[in-house]
Amino acid sequence: MAKNRVVITGIGVVTPIGSGKETFWKSLAEGKCGVGRTESFDPSKFSSQIAGEVRDFDPSGWIDTKDLKRMDRFVQFAVVSATEALNDSKIKVENEDTNKIGVLIGSGIGGLSTIEKQHTILVEKGPGRISPFFIPMLIVDMASGQVSIRLGLKGPNSCVATACASGTHAIGDSFRILQYGDADVMLAGGTEAAVTPMSVGGFCAMKALSTRNDEPGKASRPFDRERDGFVIAEGAGVVVLEVLEHALHRNSHIYAEIVGYGRTGDAHHITAPAPGGEGAVRAMKASLSDAGLNPEDVDYINAHGTSTPLNDKFETIGIKKVFGGQAYKLFISSTKSMTGHLLGASGGAEVAACILALEKGIIHPTINYEYPDPDCDLNYVPNTAIKKDVKVVMSNSLGFGGHNAVLIMKKYEG
């Protein structure tokens, strides 16, 4: 059976460096940092007091006040970015078979802020005061559920929760759904709003977060020798995936074609990556095999690049194992150097960054790269964007629990 070709025709993003694809891209190309001192709660008692917060977010133009009160912040991010992506694709839902348009949006944590608030109500006021919307607000699938409800999309509707790989898995699984003809269009990506006291406290207890509190703008520094942990962040990234024939019939603007998807498990540790990036290696190789491409065909890798000591080291080793000598010819950068780590939303935002790099002919930098690390000796596009005619890009996402997901996209050729 011949598989459908799948293209991307719409982009929607909500991030600490800007919401909307144009603002997001401008910030990426300029190397703008979205990390600052945490403002959503008092961070003074925490070892890490910095975050990538979405500070310009105003959902009132997208969601009415009554509905906003029934949505956790992570769902609000998803609804806004998904609606934006659908608008960008110029799909008119009223002219489509809505049974063939689906939604698959992932989240690593879901409605943690709702859990925290309602737990306080339980303790202080008793169970009779818990909101009847408590459960529907917090459950991870409600990002996809609310998008489906609000946009009237009746096709495949699901979610994925694979920690930091959630957004990438959601896009990859949607790619498969479209390849096999189970839908014509999928809205896919990730969303997260976990800059909360319990979340930050938990990551601090793990010693996973950067404590460069006096220099927030320099705290997220992937592949740099002085990196000391990731910076927690929030946001969403959703793209519209479409069967090629459907997109051509609409005379759509096509950003890119998705051609490869690889997914593996480390079977190693609940948080640490497998030694030598072994799981990531298999995922990268699987994505190349799925795409029918050779390592030398790839121009650019959007790395997982979290700014943690082990992840950056093992991802670099993994890239060398997959690409051999070609690894030193690759352009590699980390979006997280600017946004911080969006956790389950990372893959969605980073796929958006990849396809905009294909379209714009520019590779965004890895900012805060000041001190070379002998363990990380590849070309991470330090500090300044470069012009490059990019034809094939790879996006890596590696999550707690040993979840690895890799996507390959390329310029669309008719």
Q: Enumerate the active-site residues.
A: 164, 304, 341
Positive or negative, the CA dihedral 307, 160, 298, 409 is negative
Cα 228 to Cα 260: distance, rounded to the nearest angstrom:
33
Residue 345 CA from chain centroid, whole number: 4
Radius of gyration of the chain (CA): 20
Q: Is 192 helix (H, G, I), strand (E, B) or coil?
A: strand
Cα 257 to Cα 175: distance, rounded to the nearest angstrom:
10
- Give, in order, the Cα–Cα distances in Å from 260 to each of 241, 302, 384: 14, 15, 29
The closest of 200, 232, 230 to 46, measured between CA atoms, is 200
| Assigned token pair, 339 | 């946004």
Q: Hey, how many other C-beta atoms are within 10 angstroms of the C-beta on 295? A: 18
Are 25 and 355 spatial neighbours (Cβ–Cβ below 8 Å)?
Answer: no
Triad 237, 311, 215: Cα angle to 5°: 75
Q: What is the DSSP letter of 46?
A: S
Triad 220, 358, 277: Cα angle to 5°: 50
Are 153 and 92 spatial neighbours (Cβ–Cβ below 8 Å)?
Answer: no
What letter represents residue 105's amino acid? I
Triad 387, 389, 390: Cα angle to 5°: 110
Q: 355 phi and psi, to 5 degrees? A: -75, -25
Q: What are the helix (H) ranges across 292-335? A: 309-323
Which distant-in-sequence residues (6+ apart) come within 8 Å of 319 by Cβ?
A: 277, 284, 301, 303, 327, 330, 332, 378
Query: Which helix or strand (DSSP H or E) is residue 200 part of?
Result: helix 197-205
